[in-house]
Amino acid sequence: MAREFTKVGVIGLGTMGAGIVEVFARNGIEVVAVEVDEPAVAVGRGHLEQSTGRAVSRGKMTPEAQADLLGRVTFTASLDDLGGCELVVEAVPEKLELKKEIFAKVDAIVGPDAILATNTSSLPVTEIAVATSNPKRVVGMHFFNPAPVLQFVEVVRTVVTEDEVFEDVKTLAQRLGKQPVVVGDKAGFIANALLFGYLNHAVSMFESRYASREDIDAAMRLGCGYPMGPLALMDLIGLDTAYEILDTMYKQGRDRLHAPTPIIKQMVSAGLKGRKSGRGFYTYAAPGSSEVV
C-alpha cells in the first residue's frame, strides 16, 4: 500500500517552490511552506496568490476554491514547523552547501519515516543525501517550470534510496497528475541534460549578434513548434538558476556545450534575472509578470 501523504513541507518559495506548493495544495494536501525570513515568506505567499488569482480571473478556479487552497498552506520562517510532515521537498537555490545544511537540519526535525526530497536540477542527490543520518529516505523530485502546468516529474534514485521510498514518491507524483520517470543521479537528469545545451547555444547566438532575440525565439516557436523560444524560456527559468545549472553540468561533464555563455553571468550580476526581476532578455510589465513590454 502506497503512503497517503496528507501533510508535506516545501522549503524555498521562489519560482519553483511556490509552484510546487500550489501543486500539492491543489490536490488537497496540507502544506507547510518555509522561507528563510518573513519578507521572503511574504514574497512566496505573493507568488501563490498571483498564480491562483490568475486561475480565478480566467474562470478556471472559483474564489472559494482559491480560498480553500490557500487555507491548506501554512507559511512560516521556521524549519521547526516541518515537524509533522510525511514528505519535505526542498527547492532552495542551486547551492550544494546550502542544500546539505538544510537537509541536515530537517533530518533532525521530521520523524524517522518522513521522506526528504530535493528539487535540484543538477546537483548530486547522493551528496545531499549523505548529509542526513538516513540517506535511504532521500530522493530527487524534480518538477518543471511552471510546476502547476507541466505534467512531468523526474524521480531521482540514488544508489542507496530505499525501494519503498522511491515507489511512494512515484505514486504521489501520479496522484498530483504528473507523469513520473525514474532517473539515476547524473547532472541534468534527462530533460535538463538535453535542454540546457540548446538554451546555452541560443544565448551564444544572441551574444554574438548573429540574430535578434525575437528571431531566435521565432525560429524555435514558429519553425519548430516549441511552446516558447529559448530566450523567453531562459527568462522564465531565471538566468541565475540557468547559470547555476549550466555551471554544475559543465563542471561535472566538461562538455563545452554546457560552458555558460559569458553574457548569462553578466546579466545576473546586473540584476537581469528574467521574469522574476522584471527584465532578462526581454522586459516585463512588472517582476513576476509574463507580459513583455
Query: What is the per-residue burial (b if ≥16 Cβ within 10 Å, else e) of 111-121?
Result: eeebbbbbbbb
CA distance 230 to 60: 28
Query: Interacting stretch for ligand 3HC, rule CB under 6 A, among 32-40, 48-56, 83-91, 264-272?
Result: 48-56
Segment contacting ligand 3HC (CB under 6 A): 82-90, 101-109, 128-136, 138-146?
Answer: 138-146
Which of 135, 140 has the CB closer to ligand 3HC? 140
Rounded Cα gap, residues 110 and 226, in angstroms: 41
Residue 145 annotated to the active site: no
Given the residues 121, 122, 200, 277, select the one marked as catalytic: 121
Alpha carbon distances (Å) from 182 to 148, 149, 232, 272: 20, 20, 28, 34
Helix axes 230-237, 239-253, angle to 10 degrees: 100
Say how far apart CA 193 and CA 197 lie, in whole Å.
7
Quick one: which of 149, 218, 257, 293 contacts ligand 3HC (CB under 6 A)? 149
Q: Least distance to ligand 3HC from the beta carbon of 109, Å?
A: 26
**237 binds ligand 3HC per the rule CB under 6 A:** yes
Using CB under 6 A, pick the residue from 126, 145, 204, 252 that binds ligand 3HC: 145
- Residue 72 and residue 10 in contact, taking contact as beta carbons nearer than 8 Å: no
Whether 120 and 139 have beta carbons less than 8 Å apart is answered as no
Burial of 108 (0-12, 13-18, 19+ CB in 10 A): exposed
Tell me how many residues contact ligand 3HC (CB under 6 A).
19
Stretch that binds ligand 3HC, among 47-55, 98-106, 123-131, 248-256 (CB under 6 A): 47-55
8 A C-beta contact, residue 189 and residue 183: yes
Name the catalytic one among 90, 154, 244, 258: 154
Measured from the CB atom, is 54 or 266 closer to ligand 3HC? 54
Q: Which of 51, 119, 122, 192 is catalytic?
A: 192
Which residues sit opposite 292 in a β-bridge? 284
Q: Is 134 in the site for ligand 3HC (CB under 6 A)?
A: no
Stretch that binds ligand 3HC, among 147-155, 176-184, 247-255, 276-284 (CB under 6 A): 147-155
Is residue 286 at the binding interface for ligand 3HC, with CB under 6 A as the rule? Answer: no
Dihedrals φ, ψ of 283, to 5°?
Answer: -110, 135
Q: Is 121 in the site for ligand 3HC (CB under 6 A)?
A: yes
Spatial separation of the C-alpha atoms in residues 73 and 22, rounded to whole Å: 9
Which long-range contacts link 211-218 to residues 24+ away (Cβ below 8 Å)?
Answer: 213/281, 213/282
Site track 190-209 with ligand 3HC (rule: CB under 6 A), x = hit: --x--x--------------
Q: Rule CB under 6 A: say whether 83 interacts with ligand 3HC.
A: no
What does the per-residue mask of binding to ligand 3HC show for 158-197, with x meaning CB under 6 A? ----------------------------------x--x--
Please give the residue ranges that form the binding site for ligand 3HC (CB under 6 A).
51, 54-55, 58, 60, 121, 144-146, 148-150, 192, 195, 227-228, 233, 237, 241
